[in-house]
């Protein structure tokens, strides 16, 4: 039987693994932090980006953007974890600062966003997994066009060999 302390460590590892997998482009690890369906809300960043989506489709969206950037770093801090009474669900709330870097001839090389993540987690047979993610963007700075350029560049990057 796991303790609340064990669960807090596991959930923190899951959250930090979520960020690390994006920044290292480890798509297997990124997929493994989610259940098969995710309830997403990134509408504060991109209007219309809310609703249920398959984890495979969500990972594919990341795969079509992040390899086009020269680098990214998602820093997560001030993590709060709240468990539902039965202990099989939890909500994680945290700060995020996400730097996206791509040298270009159309402005600054960096676009940074700051916000609050809310992750909904469920205990599964394979451990804790996220079945919901909300990003509430509070601020941004720099050249947001870096994201468009990254997506365009990623479209020209051949997929990794299996």
pLDDT tens profile 80-136: 999 998 889 999 999 999 999 999 999 999 999 999 999 999 999 999 999 999 999
Give strand pairing partners of 74. Answer: 98
Give kind and range of the element (H or E) at residue 26. none
Does position 160 have pLDDT exceeding 70, yes or no? Answer: no
Least confident range from 24-28, 109-113, 152-156: namely 152-156
> Quick one: DSSP state of residue 25?
T
On the CB side of 8, how many CA atoms lie within 13 Å of its CA?
7
Terminus-to-terminus CA distance in the chain, angstroms?
38
What number of other Cβ atoms are within 10 A of residue 27's Cβ? 17
């Amino acid at each position: 039987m796991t303790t609340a302390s064990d669960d807090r460590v596991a959930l923190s590892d899951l959250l930090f693994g979520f960020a690390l997998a994006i920044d290292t482009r480890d798509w297997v690890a990124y997929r493994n932090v989610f259940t098969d369906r995710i309830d997403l809300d990134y509408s504060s960043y991109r209007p219309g980006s809310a609703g249920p989506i398959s984890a495979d489709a969500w990972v594919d969206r990341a795969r079509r953007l992040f390899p086009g950037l020269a680098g990214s770093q998602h820093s997560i801090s001030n993590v709060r974890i709240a468990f539902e009474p039965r202990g099989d669900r939890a909500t994680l709330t945290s700060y995020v600062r996400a730097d996206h870097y791509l040298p270009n001839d159309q402005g600054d090389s960096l676009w940074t966003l700051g916000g609050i993540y809310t992750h909904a987690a469920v205990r599964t047979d394979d451990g804790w997994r996220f079945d919901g993610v909300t990003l509430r963007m509070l601020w941004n700075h720099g050249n947001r066009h870096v994201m468009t350029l990254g997506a365009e560049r990623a479209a020209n990057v051949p997929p990794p060999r299996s």
